[in-house]
Amino acid sequence: MAIESDIQGADGRLAVKFYKYLQEDIVQTLAEGRPEADAIKNATDSALRGYTVGQWPEEINKALAYNPNQLKTLDALKMYMITGKAPVSRKEFIEQQINTLPE
């Protein structure tokens, strides 16, 4: 199945357990008569929810083997979802702190 190979990626390291979690989304999307591209998008949305809102057990997120840039982006999204504020760089944070010091 083309979807399975797309989700697993070229190296095929994706855990079978993770695929089981996504399978339901994929099957439902295809059952609705929607294209494979929509099914892959739904699976990706599931992965984002799994990380950002803790929808899945931690071992599933680990099985995805996110790279450091992906984790940085996911953590920024997670923080935005919690606080409603866009994340700031370390430099911007320090400047904000300095600007709040009494003179």
What's the domain range around 8?
2-99
In this prediction, residue 5 has a pLDDT band, given cuts at 50, 70 and 90, of: very low
Identify the weakest region by mean pLDDT among 1-5, 19-23, 68-72: 1-5
Closest residue by Cα to residue 68 from 76, 79, 60:
76
103 compared with 7, residue with greater pLDDT: 103
Domain count, the chain: 1
Contacts of 74 (CB under 8 A, 6+ apart): 48, 51, 52, 66
Angle of the 16-31 helix axis to the 36-52 helix axis, nearest 10: 130
Q: What average pLDDT score do residues 1-24 get?
A: 54
